[in-house]
Amino acid sequence: MARTYTHFINGKAVAGSSGRFGDIYNPSTGEVQAKVPLASTAEMRQAVAAAAAAFPGWSAQNPQKRARVMFNFKSLVEANMDQLAALLSAEHGKVIADSKGDIQRGLEVIEFACGIPHLLKGEFTEGAGPGIDMYSMRQPLGVVAGITPFNFPAMIPMWMFGVAIAAGNTFICKPSEKDPGVPMRLAELMMEAGAPAGVLNVVNGDKEAVDAILTDPDIRAVSFVGSSAIAEYVYATGTAHGKRVQAMGGAKNHAIILPDADLDQVVDDLIGAGYGSAGERCMAISVAVPVTNALGDELAKRLKPRVESLKVAPSTDPDANYGPLVTAQHRAKVVSYIDQGVKEGAELLVDGRGFTLQGYENGYYLGGSLFDRVTPQMKTYQEEIFGPVLQIARAESFEEAAALPSRHQYGNGVAIYTRDGDAAREFASRVQVGMVGINVPIPVPLAYHTFGGWKRSAFGDVNQHGPEGVRFYTKVKTVTARWPAKGGSREGSSFVIPTMK
């Protein structure tokens, strides 16, 4: 019997009452393993009320006490790493080692958030005027919410609630309805770590729950990560309702390969970054751009056997390079992109569509696919595929190659491979993409830097985590204070704007 999830509101499990449920599959076997309640607006209101009630007490705790809860939480997640990774893999399909990486990258944001006493320190100017000091402080917003995608069910919720809660806000997480098990466990562990009830709530659901967040008058800010069309909708609707919104979207990440690059390293990196987690990463490399046709021939020749020999297996297989895709529907979508690529005239060097795994015929597996001679006019180049499909788009010159990521609708990540420091430096400076790797395939910034793409990869101006995350979840207040010296003269009324003349 499939188990039935609940919501997690005000420190306890709350059964879904909307009467609507979604299925959670085990992508490795195709079985339904759980049911998830899909919240109504009324259920979301219940969570907002709990978070609002918890806010005054939580925000009044001194930042060091809030940091101690984050320290405890980090230890608890580490102690539960194996169980969390097993749950994550069972719902998502990524291999266990990769699930641990997903959790670890989230924990790195928690480590960053443990420094919140330092991060919230304001600025101070002594003697800004006669007897006048000026100082600024950062204060939490109140109730804030995060809406997260299926592909990083541990890391992305922690990107958001780690910083938000440490800064003194209370939080509602609306995880992906495809794999909400880990976010639910993380909320329980936050309570165990000492966060009061209502500080972190998880409300499961779909569009109805998202719309309830976007229109709720008591939610001050919304963080979103997911596909671009929804990100744009979330940004437009949330800001129209007076909220601060950061909404990260889809991606098409290019790797530019110059003729002087270390080709062995390039091939290793493209295989890992293109096919790891079945390509279901917003920072996956999906387009390789070799500069010169001769390099294109050599790259295609070397990649082909490596793609053919990828080991695709259940998420529990320790030798698997990657596991199944998340759902049958998503698998069908990736297959339709491969069909389309063939129709458009790209050269399919490796076709993963026929792949099956004995004993796991109902799992959502797809072999690795490799396209060559992909051009910017093709739909499969213009859109995000989000599967184990790497496309080679050849270029004749550095300029032609460098223009591709800059002109693309998405601008999340990009990589350049070269031994030429000047070319790499110029590329990093000019490219219209938010995160750049130089001889690094997946340039995901560490927690104390900040994560965010450009163009249709992100809507809103403030990035995730790092100093920008702290800015997103706080508002600044600046105080000008005058303490006239005893016996000093009064200045009388002034009808002129005060200046520092």
Local structure of 132: helix, strand or coil: strand
157 CB-near residues (< 8 Å, 6+ apart) = 106, 146, 148, 173, 175, 182, 183, 186
Burial class (CB in 10 A: 0-12, 13-18, 19+), 479: exposed
Residue 490 neighbours by CB distance under 10 Å? 6
The amino acid at residue 476 is V
In whole angstroms, the minimum distance from the beta carbon of 196 to ligand NAD comes to: 26
Cβ nearer to ligand NAD, comparing 299 with 447: 447
In whole angstroms, the minimum distance from the beta carbon of 234 to ligand NAD comes to: 7
In whole angstroms, the minimum distance from the beta carbon of 330 to ligand NAD comes to: 7
Per DSSP, the residues of 32-59 read EEEEEE---HHHHHHHHHHHHHHHHHHH
Strands 253-257, 285-290: pairing kind: parallel
Cβ nearer to ligand NAD, comparing 170 with 457: 457
What whole-number distance in Å separates Cα of residue 160 and Cα of residue 173? 9
Question: Is 173 annotated as catalytic?
Answer: no
Q: Tell me which of 9, 257, 270, 282 is the catalytic residue.
A: 282
In whole angstroms, the minimum distance from the beta carbon of 457 to ligand NAD comes to: 5
Cβ nearer to ligand NAD, comparing 250 with 290: 250
Local structure of 110: helix, strand or coil: helix
Cβ nearer to ligand NAD, comparing 67 with 203: 203
Residue nearest to ligand NAD (CB): 226
Cα–Cα distances (Å) from 188 to 8, 13, 48, 203, in that order, read 8, 9, 18, 13
In whole angstroms, the minimum distance from the beta carbon of 181 to ligand NAD comes to: 14
Extract the tokens encoding 472. Answer: 């997103």
What whole-number distance in Å separates Cα of residue 80 and Cα of residue 7? 21
Q: Are 90 and 317 in contact (CB under 8 A)?
A: no
* Contacts to ligand NAD by CB under 6 A: 147-152, 174, 176-177, 206-207, 210, 225-227, 230, 248-251, 282, 384, 386, 412, 453, 457
Phi, psi of 276 (to 5 degrees): -55, 145
What whole-number distance in Å separates Cα of residue 348 and Cα of residue 413? 25
Catalytic annotation, residues: 282
